[in-house]
Amino acid sequence: MLSTRKTVVFDEGIVLTTGERIAPVTVAYETFGTLNKRKDNAILIVHALTGDSHCAGYYGAADAKPGWWDPLIGPGKAFDTRKYFIICSNDLGGCQGTTGPSSINPATGARYNLSFPVITIRDIVNVQKKLLDHLGIERLLSISGGSMGGMNVLDWAVAYPERVSSVIPVSTCGRLSPQGIAFSEVQRQAIIRDPKWHGGNYDPDDPPADGLAVARMIGHITYLSSESMHLKFGRRKRKAAEPEAKFDEKFEIESYLQYQGSRFVERFDANSYLYLTKAMDFYDIGEGCETFEEGAARMQCKALFIAFRSDWLFTPRETGELVDALRKAGRDVEFHEIESAYGHDAFLVEYPKYAYLLERFLERVHRFYNR
């Protein structure tokens, strides 16, 4: 399946939850399948922290890899593009086509950097809403995404219940645990304490690459699990290509993390990492309500929750906390905790274990709204 990244510019921009305005706002997005005449077959896919609009397909024959959720999206797949119209955009605050701290501020002609306003998950949702308005989509059949994308999915259902028929939040929760916040914070500290960060005003050609690489390495530990590291790397050692700090032997897990760290630096903006992790940490479905349960109960649509047993960043227990609150409020909620050793990464790996659940759920929702 081929894909093309499209771009739309909203000159009027967006007013944030803080009252500040960002204008213009550019949104990068991709679509798959066809919007039907009744415009009731649209599904929004939302990416995780460092993802982008390229959720499926190939840009061209030269691509080594397809989009990040390709095994789920396409003709005959769970998000069946013969039936559904799939939309995925890059988040506000990101760095892959949508306006973010690395964009040029038209008022100054320079990059926003830290003059970019603080954003929340709700602001990211509101930009997606603008895109849907632009595409003429009044109501979504479903919204799905994993991790921080899953928080985004939840917030859609809370903020705009009249526009959402169902949600499929994957590997996510209603509020990040203190341990999750702690991991976000050391990742931010690794970036901020890199002297090349220069208070956010780094040279784009000489960014705080070491800080960002260390942040990514920490991130990767939280995406795997102790179990998957045992299975994949164990305590296997290899000679280091060049001795590092005089230690000439290293463990395979060390090489893996270093490789992930260096690759990430080529594609991600350090300031975006700060803004987006903050948005994730501050997200709380109970915000502004008396209790977490009350906040959760504002979600009214049908929901399919997926969590993976060895995920210790967004644990099944935390997903379950949310599911319990929804069931107590009488909502139509399916919840599957899936056996997997892959930790948080499972939602990007264990497709055969959950694709059929998505397919079945979407058919049920589709039938329900087309009775």
In sequence order, what are the residues at sequence separation of 6 or more whose Cβ sits closer than 8 angstroms to the Cβ of residue 344? 147, 171, 222, 223, 224, 225, 308, 311, 312, 313, 314
CA–CA separation, 145 and 167 (whole Å):
9
User: Is 332 designated active site?
Assistant: no
Q: Does the footprint of a second copy cover residue 253 (CB under 8 A)?
A: yes
In the bound complex, what is the minimum distance in angstroms from residue 167's beta carbon to a second copy?
23
Sequence letter at residue 74: G
Q: Which of 200, 207, 295, 316 binds a second copy (CB under 8 A)?
A: 200
What is the per-residue burial (b if ≥16 Cβ within 10 Å, else e) of 62-77? Answer: eeeebbbbbbbbbeeb
Strands 6-10, 25-32: pairing is antiparallel
Tell me if 289 contacts a second copy by CB under 8 A.
Answer: no
Which residue in the list 102, 147, 165, 228 is annotated as catalytic? 147
Q: Which residues pair with 27 in a beta bridge?
A: 8
Q: Which window, 4-12, 80-88, 89-97, 239-247, contacts a second copy (CB under 8 A)?
A: 239-247
Does 257 participate in binding a second copy (rule CB under 8 A)? yes
Element counts in the chain: helices (H) and strands (E):
10, 16
Assess 239 for contact with a second copy (CB under 8 A).
no
Residue 63 engages a second copy in binding (rule: CB under 8 A): no
The rounded distance, in Å, linking the Cα atoms of 323 and 317 is 10
Interaction between residue 211 and a second copy (CB under 8 A)? yes
* Residue closer to a second copy, measured from CB, 158 or 190: 190
Q: Is 316 in the site for a second copy (CB under 8 A)?
A: no
86/224 with CB nearer a second copy: 224
Identify any residues that bridge with 168 across adjacent strands, giving them in sequence order.
Answer: 144
The closest of 173, 24, 46, 181 to 105, measured between CA atoms, is 24
Q: Which of 16, 14, 51 is nearest to 30 (CA)?
A: 51
52 near a second copy, rule: CB under 8 A = no
> How many residues bind a second copy, per CB under 8 A?
52
Residue 171 CB: number of other CB atoms within 10 A?
A: 29
Site for a second copy in 132-191 (CB under 8 A): 175-179, 181-183, 185-186, 188-190
Determine the length of the chain.
371
Question: Is the Cβ of residue 149 or residue 286 nearer to a second copy in the bound state?
Answer: 286
Q: Does 214 bind a second copy (CB under 8 A)?
A: yes
Give the integer Cα–Cα distance in Å for 208 and 194.
Answer: 6
Q: Does the active-site annotation cover 147?
A: yes
Tokens of 238: 């290899």
* In contact, 338 and 326? CB cutoff 8 Å: no
Our answer to whether residue 344 is catalytic in this structure is: yes
We find the least distance from the C-beta atom of residue 197 to a second copy, in angstroms, to be 9
| Residue (191 or 303) nearer to a second copy, CB | 191
Determine, following the binding rule CB under 8 A, whether residue 19 of this chain makes contact with a second copy: no
The site string for a second copy over 102-121 (x = CB under 8 A, - otherwise) reads: ------------x---x---
Considering the candidates 228, 311, 340, 345, report the single residue annotated as catalytic: 311
Which two three-digit tokens encode residue 323? 């599911």
Can you give the binding site for a second copy, defined by CB under 8 A?
114, 118, 175-179, 181-183, 185-186, 188-190, 192-195, 200, 210-211, 213-214, 217-218, 221, 224-226, 229-230, 233-235, 244-247, 250-251, 253-254, 257-258, 261, 274, 278, 281, 284, 312, 315
**Which residues are catalytic, by number?**
147, 311, 344
